[in-house]
Structure 1
Amino acid sequence: MRFFPSASRQRLAAAAAAGALALGAMSVPTSPFSLAADDLKDQQKKVQKKIHGAAEDLEHSSAAARKALAKAEAARADLDRAKGRLSRVRVRLESARTRDERMAEKLQQAEERLGQARIDLEAGQEALAEQRRVVRDRVAESYMQGSPELATITSLLRTRSTEDLTRQQTATGAIMSRETGMYDDLEAAELVLQTRETEVQTAKQEVAVDRRKAAQHLEKIRRLTAQAVSRRDDVRDLAATRADARRAAFAAKLRDRKALNRLKKQEARIKQRILAAARASRGSSISAQPSGFLQRPVAGPVTSSFGYRTHPIYKYWGMHDGTDFGVACREPLKASGTGTVIAKYYSEVYGNRLFLSLGRVNGKSLTVVYNHAYGYRYDVGDRVARGAVVGTVGSTGWSTGCHLHFTVLVAGKAVDPMNWL
């Protein structure tokens, strides 16, 4: 049996818990019990008929709760993924913007270099034009004065002394050196101008490439911005979806709790009548060691032990008052001992249930309870032999798959079944 949280300790007893505990306190039925059994069975059937009539709605409600919780979990997962996508887009967008700033700075520097190269080119063009003018003037002047080499020969023929000849040769050499320097300067100016023109072309190409890259990167930023807006809208929509799913899950869970409370009250009334009949009964007691006293009800492995655990549907931490065995659907359920069926009914929580009283052991009543079965072969009052097939495994009630939830009650209190098997 599983308990829900209550207001005080966050636990709410499952629908049939009270009835189960009460039935466990009974000894093997004797004549006084049999006399009252028919009347109690009739009244129990009336109440159980009402319970069974509501069972489909309640079971559907429980299924709705599982579905709503699943939707809420899915919505949370979708929201987390959407937030992750938004975060990644924002990181990429921020990186793109940072790179855009660097590219803009690089483009500005390239444009500045292009501007300076153009200024240098213009200055070089002016210097070359001036140098060409100087050379042109000097060529014209030389043409008017004649060739310096010819002037030297003429001076040699006309000179009267060695000193005059030396002075004339020195003057002629200076003129020729100056002309040579002019031509060298002109050649240098032309080389500088070529360099400036190359720098301008290089700067133009650099600016063109940077502008193209900047335009492409700007388009990337626009695309990432659009993605960021889309992801942000997704997050908002999914947040709203998750809120709706959580509200639906809470409402379904609340409906289940209310149903459990109503059924608990109905079975509590039957409990009082059955306890009264049990007090009027008498039965012998046997002495035995608990370990190995009971036969295993199924051959499957233990999937969830007795004790506290997380509820598979509502995820709260609560007492698991039995042992779950993983068994395939329709596998046989064996009687753990010889006894009498004292209750069999459908519970919206535990599905098809059967209580088998095994009498008094070590002075205390011993009862085993089968839950979630597909169906049973015995009815209330039937005698069952140890090892007999009492029913088949199912997944009825609030269950997530075929299994047996097996409970052992000693004097109405749930104990670890594995200590008795």
Structure 2
Amino acid sequence: MKKRTIRFICLLLALLMIGSLAMPYLARANSTLDKLQQELNGIRDNLNNIKDETERQEANKASLQRQNKIILSQIGELEKGIQTAQETLAQKQLELDQKRRDIQATDDLFQQRLRAMYVMHNSGALSTLLGVNSFEELLTASTTLSRISVSDTELLKKLAAERAQMEADERYIQDRIAELETQLSQQESKKNELAANIQAANSSLTELDAKQEAEEQAYAAKLAEYNAARAQAEAEMGQSSGGEFVGGSFGWPVPGFYNISSPYGWRTLYGKPDFHTGIDIAKSGQIFGATVVSSLPGTVQTVRYGSTGYGYYVIVDHGGGYKTLYGHLSAIYVTPGQAVAQGTPVGAVGSTGNSTGPHLHFEIRAAGQKVDPMQYLKG
């Protein structure tokens, strides 16, 4: 019993020494990765701002296009109204010209009759009256002469009244055309203003597209730099940690939760082939926040609070080239260089990084290669 205790203490001291030697390097590596992560976050914030502004400009453009459609419809109705009014005015002017000619012709006939009546009054009227054979004929002849004058006068009055009404109609139609042309001019101005605003929105969207493309390229370059730095840190850390394999069997990383939602190997992700480098342990609605424990004794090599990839994750070095990774955590309970025993809590199940729901992504790495964890897990 005492020998076993001594061996455990020696192993623990060795792990602590390895951790203390690795901590300066871990601090530098984490500092570099933190800086790159902050830069990635800054670029992502820029992309989100560009996305928000693009959505605002697209909504503004859609609103302007709806207004422009209404304006074009109104312009079409005004142009149709002006055309109809102009056709009515042209017809009214033809009718008015004809009415003027009728009045002139009637007036000419009236003047001729007046002159005839004057002559008849001096000569013809006397002979007409002398030629009657009775008093009744005399009255009829006299009345007929007076009625000719009255009839023509009434006709002229009627024609003049019709002409006045037609002239009033003509003025009304002209005023209506002027009013419609004023409205048309106003709508044309609005149409031109909307066209300028739509052009400005298109220019803004073009600029935003260019900015988004530039930011996406910058994000891709920075992400590649981040991944390279992380891979280098992990590789160098693996070389620096060295040590013999701690031995023993790998333990289950989430006690009480044994459902594997995605095994190691090829799968289809978002409609595309994807090689899954570990196993996903999940249970809908229950696993979030569950305790994640170290699968074997070892030293915490990496602690990352990322927003992409594995999200929050921990890597534990077990010596002999064996490491385990615990990804998509919602909380981390350990620090780089910390010695952990098998079953020591390292974090809590979450859904950070590229995750579709709460689960633990668990990897086992042997000699730098990601292997199927199910070949090593006991039970």
Q: What TM-score, normalized by structure 1, do the two folds share? A: 0.63
Q: Which amino acid is the alignment partner of residue 152 of structure 1? A: V
CA separation in 1, counterparts of 2:378 and 2:103?
Answer: 110
Find the partner of 2:114 among 130, 136, 140: 136
Relative contact order, higher structure (CA 8 A, sep 6+): 1
Report the aligned-residue RMSD.
5.0
Of 239, 243, 268 in structure 1, the residue corresponding to residue 206 of structure 2 is 239
Counterpart residue number, 1:47 = 25
**Residue of structure 2 equivalent to 1:252:** 219
Asked if 1:207 is matched to 2:186, the reply is no
Structure 1, residues 372-395: CA drift from partner, whole Å, max 9, x if none? 45431587433244xx75445789
**What letter is aligned with 1:49?**
A
Asked if the contact 2:110/2:152 (under 8 Å) is kept, the reply is no
| Alignment partner of 2:255 out of 295, 300, 304 | 295
SS at match of 1:72: helix
Partner of 1:124: 102
How far did 1:30 drift? 8.8
Contact 2:295 2:324 in 1 (8 A): no
Alignment of 1:13-412 (within 5 A): 37=15, 40-144=18-122, 145-146=125-126, 151-153=131-133, 184=151, 187-272=154-239, 277-278=244-245, 282-283=247-248, 295-296=255-256, 309=269, 323=280, 333-335=290-292, 339-347=296-304, 349=306, 350=310, 353-355=313-315, 367=324, 369-376=326-333, 380-385=338-343, 389-391=345-347, 405-409=360-364, 412=370
Q: Distance in 2 between matches of 1:119 and 1:262?
A: 95
Instruction: Return 399-408 or 137-146, whichever deviates more.
Output: 399-408
Q: CA offsets, 1:1-23, max 9 Å, x none?
A: xxxxxxxxxxxxxxxxxxxxxxx
- 1:103-135 CA-to-partner distances (Å, cap 9, x unmatched) read 442343244235324423432331232133133
- Do the aligned partners of residues 295 and 326 (structure 1) sit closer, same or farther apart at CA in structure 2, a change above 3 Å counting? closer
- Matching residue's letter, 1:48: L
**Equivalent residues of 1:68, 1:249 under 8 A apart:** no
Query: Once the 2 structures are TM-superposed, how far is the Cα of residue 258 of structure 1 from its aligned partner?
Result: 0.8
> How far apart in 2 are the matches of 1:356 and 1:333?
19
C-alpha spacing 1:43/1:373, structure 2 compared with 1 (3 Å): farther
CA 353–344 in structure 1, closer or farther in 2 if over 3 Å, else same? farther
SS at match of 2:255: coil
Counterpart secondary structure, 1:295: coil
C-alpha change, 1:199 and 1:400, in structure 2 (3 Å) is farther
User: In the alignment, is the contact (CA less than 8 A) between 2:253 and 2:295 conserved in 1?
Assistant: no
Separation in 2 of the partners of 1:195 and 1:269? 108
Cα contact 1:110–1:203 (8 A) shared by 2 = no
Given residue 132 of structure 2, which amino acid in structure 1 is its aligned partner? T
Change (3 A) 1:243 1:126: same
TM-score by length of 2: 0.69
Count of residues in Structure 1 that have an aligned counterpart in Structure 2: 353
Cα separation, 1, equivalents of 2:118 and 2:133: 21
**Contact 2:289/2:349 (<8 A) preserved:** yes
**Aligned mates of 1:403, 1:55 — CA distance in 2:** 25
* Residues 146/415 of structure 1: CA separation in 2 closer, same or farther (3 Å cut): farther
Distance of aligned partners of 1:410 and 1:249 in 2 relative to their CA distance in 1, 3 Å threshold: closer
Shift in Å, 1:48? 1.4
Among 361, 364, 371, the residue aligned to 1:413: 371
CA distance in 2, matches of 1:293, 1:63: 30
- Structure 2's unaligned 5+ residue stretches are 1-6
What SS class does the counterpart of residue 176 from structure 2 fall into?
helix
